[in-house]
Amino acid sequence: MQASKRKVYDAIVVGSGATGGWAAKVLTERGLTVLVLEAGRQLDEKKDFREHTWPYELKYRGLVGGAKYAPRQPIQSRCYAANEYGSHLFVDDIDNPYTTPEDKPFWWIRGRHVGGRSITWGRQSYRMSDYDFKAASRDGYGEDWPISYADLEPYYNQVEDFVGISGSYENLPQLPDSKFLPAMKLTCGEHLLKKGVESKWKDRKVIIGRAAILTQPHQGRAACHWCGHCDRGCSTHSYYSSPGSTLPAAAKTGRMTLKPNSVVREIIVDTNTGKAKGVRVVNQITKQERDEYAKVVVLCASTLESTRILMNSKSRIHPNGFGNSSGVLGQYLMDHMYSISAGGVVEQLFGSEYDFSDGRANGIYVPRFRNITDKHKDFIRGYGMQGGVRVSTSFFKGRQIPGFGADFKKMVREAKSEVTWGLGAWCEMLPDKNNKVTIDPNKVDKWGIPVLHIDCKHGENEKAMAKDALATILEMADAAKFKVQYTSSTPAPPGFCIHEVGTARMGSDAKTSVLNKWNQTWDAKNVFVTDGACYASVGCQNPTLTMMAITARACDYIADQFKRGDL
């Protein structure tokens, strides 16, 4: 096609998930024409969302999971949500391979469809603070973010106004309050834990989780009706997902074009300027290649996919990958250390009446308290805790009781309810340049695109933190007089918390970072990366809310610069 006749958008947004949706919304509402490219298919909510599907409607009654059920998903099937209800919302591991050292597993959980992991995410939404953005200045490790909490606060507000975050106001400096919808209620057992913990330790709090789930109608979306199966999709759009909120807002402007089944291979470089002039795309179904053109490229493909695109975008001007003049691209991969946990029963509540609390798709949160006012002798940074205390359902009890027929039904109906508790720690992982991704020269995916080699492990600081976290959980359970029935002291491999960040980090120095404070590559001013790849450190908070706020801020800057003709 002749250059004069080809379509040139103002901006291409790669990815349609939590950050891609926000990029599309902000840019189109600021007047830009935007092409959103999604590697996967367009979902059909009537078929693909199964939050109201009964077990008897499934072939295996929802009782079968894991790799035996899904042999093409040996990694994805490890996730609790990649089961008979929701395995179709996760990638095919055979078509989408990656490699790791044999002794360093990394469990990369992914979704390829319009909406990405915003369809299945856990919805926990916590602001970061300057305890996170400026952590290096506090403890001397690593580098500060090039932005502060004050820089991001107005964009947290903007995102929360639109998304809707339910929670309680606590006035904690390490966990700034959001603009909240009414909070969900704690269960009886959670009140017992709160009383036991807060009466013994002044620096520890047990609060309701902060969740991107509506507790009242908001922005034209219905309040949650507590079906309790958010990981299977939400046909009422009562939790935040990009197809349920930001993408329709962008479409309403008339300036968004959405193209599913568009696997981005690389950025196309203008050899005269070194800037991007578009992206090269492989059709997911036909495998045919095409080029899409734009004046600005915004990568929101997810942390590792965005970095993979940059690494595969080699040219004479960018010989080591796009934006990699520093050599830092791919380094400083982080995820939260996960699976340090304990649980059991609350004996004093045995036989409690079923209270429907299993439908509350939220839990409790214990904000970070380590290394806030004191200095721990064994580790820097800290961890938060998530969990809950609930009355078990009849379905849950039915899975535990042997038998069948009328006698079995009678036992299930008449069995006295147990109240179970569980708490787990989300431990901060320090940025380490040895935790990195590179392109594997010997392997490609189904579309012929070179795949990532992921080399990542937990460090000594994380291990010391995990030891303290488990001890803390147990002493808190003791304070509440909860019975402990299990503990887990072995962390899951990195990646499994599904909070992977880093590898194209922001910074104040072009020699030690990939992006500047506006998420703009130092090497080309018309390419931006606004998903988790930009993180300089991970904190202990779930990252999606911060990713969305960062995207809103970067896209405001893009729109301003675009109108001035500076991109």
CB 129 within 8 A of CB 174: yes
Distance from C-alpha of 337 to C-alpha of 463, rounded to nearest angstrom: 9
126: CB partners within 8 A, 6+ apart: 175, 210, 365, 384, 541, 542, 545
Q: Is the pLDDT of residue 395 over 80?
A: no
Q: Point out the least confidently predicted range of 1-10, 333-342, 438-447, 477-486.
A: 1-10
What letter does residue 224 receive in the DSSP assignment? Answer: P
Q: Give residue 67's pLDDT.
A: 74
pLDDT tens, 53-102? 998 999 988 887 777 788 999 999 999 999 999 999 999 999 999 999 99
Distance from C-alpha of 342 to C-alpha of 540, rounded to nearest angstrom: 19
Distance from C-alpha of 77 to C-alpha of 83, rounded to nearest angstrom: 7
Distance from C-alpha of 154 to C-alpha of 127, rounded to nearest angstrom: 12
Q: Is the pLDDT of residue 273 over 90?
A: yes
Q: Give residue 393's pLDDT.
A: 67
pLDDT tens, 475-495? 999 999 999 999 999 999 999
Q: Give residue 2's pLDDT.
A: 46
Q: Give residue 397's pLDDT.
A: 67
Beta-bridged to residue 331, according to DSSP, are 436
CA angle (15, 20, 25) in 5-degree steps: 140
Q: Is the pLDDT of residue 461 over 80?
A: yes
Take residue 49 and report the two structure tokens written for it. Answer: 């969302």
Q: Give residue 115's pLDDT.
A: 98
Please report, for residues 355, 408, 409, 562, the alpha-carbon distance to residue 414 in angstroms, rounded to integers and kept in the order given. Answer: 16, 10, 9, 66
- Would residue 125 be called left, alpha or beta, if left means φ above 0 and alpha means ψ between -120 and 50 degrees? beta
Take residue 173 and report the two structure tokens written for it. Answer: 């400096």
pLDDT tens, 223-244? 999 998 999 999 999 999 999 9
Distance from C-alpha of 46 to C-alpha of 62, rounded to nearest angstrom: 19
400: CB partners within 8 A, 6+ apart: none
Q: Where are the beta strands (DSSP E) in 87-206?
A: 165-166, 180-181
Q: Is the pLDDT of residue 1 over 50?
A: no
Q: Is the pLDDT of residue 396 over 80?
A: no
Strands 419-427 and 383-391: antiparallel
Q: Give residue 355's pLDDT.
A: 84
- Count of CA atoms in the C-beta half-sphere (13 A) of 444: 7
Please report, for residues 144, 321, 415, 516, the alpha-carbon distance to residue 507 in angstroms, rounded to integers and kept in the order given. Answer: 8, 18, 58, 5
- Residue 393 CB neighbour total at 10 angstroms: 16
Take residue 128 and report the two structure tokens written for it. Answer: 């970061």
CB 562 within 8 A of CB 520: no
Phi, psi of 207, rounded to the nearest 5 degrees: -130, 165
Q: How confident is the model at residue 4 (pLDDT cuts 50, 70, 90)?
A: low
Please report, for residues 16, 139, 256, the alpha-carbon distance to residue 264 in angstroms, rounded to integers and kept in the order given. Answer: 13, 40, 18
Q: Is the pLDDT of residue 3 over 60?
A: no
- Residue 92 CB neighbour total at 10 angstroms: 16
132: CB partners within 8 A, 6+ apart: 145, 537, 539, 541
Average pLDDT, the chain: 95
CB 86 within 8 A of CB 50: yes
CB 522 within 8 A of CB 539: no
- Count of CA atoms in the C-beta half-sphere (13 A) of 83: 18
197: CB partners within 8 A, 6+ apart: 204, 205, 206, 366, 476, 479, 480
Provide mean pLDDT across the span 1-24: 88
